[in-house]
Amino acid sequence: MAETIFEAGDHKVYLFTDLVTGEGIQSNQLFIVNGSHSALFDPGGNLTYQPLNMAISKVSSIKALDYVIATHQDPDIIPSLDKWLMYTDAKVLVSKLWERFLPHLIPAFMIEKVQGRIVGIPDKGARIKFGDSNIIALPAHFLHSVGNLHFYDPVGKILFSGDVGASLVDKDHDKPVDDFEAHVENMEGFHKRYMGSNKVCRLWASMIRELDVEIMVPQHGRLFQGKAMVENFLQWFEQLECGIDLVDQSDYRVPKRK
């Protein structure tokens, strides 16, 4: 079911939190409409294609989709690429590091037909024309993918932060975080293992503070609502040791014979 998280005039932002069923990790998909234009973020794979398509159809025309936008290349992000290319006229936007890899997800008979529709975003990010506004693609490399982007909607003041801020919670995925301290345990293990290093956490947090963020939506788990809650996250994240900060020789050993 679509939840409207922002609405002003003909600019609307919808969040889907409950479309993955079965074994797949719970994932959030963001959908933004600006007048007759629309953009979909991290649509996921085959588990979500059908329910997402139906949920979007209730609030907008699938044919009118301008962009399918991927934060990175993971299996929970974009394997439904072939279907979005086949059944819509949307362009697919992704880090330029993954632009040449994504055609591996497309059947051979479609390759020629979709030429020019997978567009690589440069490492430094971009401002993407979207209706009478922009979507700002922000560098988020090594958080966690080597070619990783987050996306900011300046109208709704919404940051879609991909796997950054993700939490693993059993229920109430559609509820904002209310007690940050209590929520840390839902995020900590994931971020320590999946994020690159404290250096990139700090660089990213400093960039995010240049923006006016009212809502931060991660790709998994609960969103962060209000400037104070977003700042709670930034302060936690910029001091987090993670990824290569935490490894030593004991993590790189040839497994012993039994």
Q: Say which residues have a Cβ less than 8 Å from residue 115's Cβ, sequence separation at least 6.
A: none
Q: Which residues of 104-137 are buried (b: 16+ CB within 10 A; e: fewer)?
A: ebbeeeeeeebeebbebbeeebbebebbebbbbb
Token representation of residue 227: 């400037």
Q: Which is nearer to Fe ion, 60 or 219 (CB)?
A: 219
Q: Which is nearer to Fe ion, 60 or 73 (CB)?
A: 73
C-alpha closest to that of 77 among 28, 39, 42, 25: 42
Amino acid at 58: K
Closest distance of CB 249 from Fe ion, Å? 27
Closest distance of CB 79 from Fe ion, Å? 12
The 168-207 site mask, x for binding Fe ion (CB under 5 A), equals: ----------------------------------------
Token representation of residue 250: 């004991």
The residue number whose beta carbon is nearest to Fe ion equals 74
Q: Which is nearer to Fe ion, 47 or 114 (CB)?
A: 47
Closest distance of CB 146 from Fe ion, Å? 11
Closest distance of CB 82 from Fe ion, Å? 20
Size of interface with Fe ion, in residues (CB under 5 A): 4
Closest distance of CB 144 from Fe ion, Å? 6
Report the alpha-carbon distance of residue 183 to residue 168 in Å, rounded.
10
Write the Ramachandran bin of 180: left for phi over 0, alpha for psi from -120 to 50, otherwise beta.
alpha
Report the alpha-carbon distance of residue 13 to residue 56 in Å, rounded.
11
Helix (H, G, I), strand (E, B) or coil at 103: helix
Of residues 67-106, which lie at the interface with Fe ion (CB under 5 A)?
74, 76
Q: Which is nearer to Fe ion, 131 or 196 (CB)?
A: 196
Of residues 153-172, which lie at the interface with Fe ion (CB under 5 A)?
163
Token representation of residue 162: 């991909």
Of residues 116-145, which lie at the interface with Fe ion (CB under 5 A)?
none
219 binds Fe ion (CB under 5 A): yes
Closest distance of CB 69 from Fe ion, Å? 14
Q: Which is nearer to Fe ion, 38 or 71 (CB)?
A: 71
Q: Which is nearer to Fe ion, 75 or 122 (CB)?
A: 75
E strand or H helix that includes residue 189: helix 180-194
Residues that bind Fe ion (CB under 5 A): 74, 76, 163, 219
